[in-house]
Amino acid sequence: MPLPHWLHELETCPSTNRWAMEHLHVLNHGDVAFTRRQTAGRGQYGRSWQSPQGVLTATFVLQDFPLARIHLLSLVAGLMVIDSLEMLMPNLDGIPKLKWTNDILIQGRKVAGILCETRSPSSNHPLLTTAIVGIGLNRSVDFAQAGIETVQIGNPISLHQVSEEIPTEFQLLSVLRDRLIQSPAIKAMMQLECDLNSVNWLDQVRSRDALLGKKIQFETQTGLIVGISEGINDRGELLIKDNNGVLKAFNSGRILTFF
């Protein structure tokens, strides 16, 4: 069966994000780079992303994305991953959660991670860029067989551990692509004149917030913050009320623990 025109299947590559960046001159909006064997994946803040057999690794291309909204893309892409999983696996309805800014959790354990990157805007279109959305999804991973100590990598979970039937790789890629280029939230985000409140993206994010009300340890460039997560604001920032009762907003940082 021939591959659809938008799918670029790679036998192996260091990183689908890196491959996409190197081939943007021949890729179109909605194209997808996919491999079953990623050898040097990257996560947020330069951390490595382990990709043993059974991890679905793919990068989705979004052309003409507004630079002014790129900071919201990981959150909305996370919603699209959740929506895709629930569509294909109805038994998961209401279960996946979004951990700011780029992780999808099931039963408090990481099932997917997202890494969004951009190319420098051109002089002809300084307000727009090409964004790529890298998704690593634990579809059918045997962590023990792969020799991975799950405690060391955030206690992940795989779809086959929560459902007897799991979607095929192509089903996942197809639905993920459809959500990332056709959903009202993404379409609104790509039109600067469009009011994002009209698609209730923030309400959707907050309804899936895995951190809301949890006590968290949060690492910033200036030190460690301990407090209670108060949700996410309309700029996509994480709100934390520290131990002194002061509410602070963060657009970057690392969540060390939450409970």
CATH of 215-258, one of 3.40.50.300, 3.40.50.720, 1.10.3720.10, 2.30.30.100: 2.30.30.100
What pTM does this model have? Answer: 0.91
**What is the distance in angstroms between the CA of the first residue and the CA of the last residue of the chain?**
47
Q: Where are the domains of the chain?
A: 7-207, 215-258
User: Is 239:229 a contact under the CB 8 Å cutoff?
Assistant: yes
- What does the alpha-carbon distance between residue 34 and residue 84 come to, in Å, rounded to a whole number? 17
10: left (phi over 0), alpha (psi -120 to 50) or beta: beta
Q: What single-letter DSSP state applies at residue 210?
A: S
pLDDT of residue 19: 96
- What does the alpha-carbon distance between residue 138 and residue 156 come to, in Å, rounded to a whole number? 8
Token pair recorded at residue 67: 């630079």
3-state helix, strand, coil in the chain (%, to 5): 30, 35, 40
- What does the alpha-carbon distance between residue 64 and residue 140 come to, in Å, rounded to a whole number? 34
pLDDT tens per residue, the chain (259 residues)? Answer: 788 999 999 999 999 999 999 999 999 999 999 999 888 766 554 555 556 789 999 999 999 999 999 999 999 999 999 999 999 999 999 999 999 999 999 999 999 999 999 988 777 778 899 999 999 999 998 876 666 655 555 689 999 999 989 999 999 999 999 999 999 999 999 998 888 888 899 999 999 999 999 999 999 998 999 999 999 999 999 999 999 999 999 999 999 999 9
Q: Which residues pair with 133 in a beta bridge?
A: 60, 116
pLDDT of residue 145: 67
pLDDT of residue 198: 83
Q: What single-letter DSSP state applies at residue 101?
A: T
Element of type H or E holding 53 = none
Number of H helices and number of E strands within the chain?
Answer: 5, 14
pLDDT of residue 182: 95
- What does the alpha-carbon distance between residue 67 and residue 88 come to, in Å, rounded to a whole number? 32
- What does the alpha-carbon distance between residue 188 and residue 200 come to, in Å, rounded to a whole number? 10
Backbone angles phi, psi at 32, to 5 degrees: -135, 130
CATH code for the domain defined by 7-207:
3.30.930.10
pLDDT of residue 124: 76
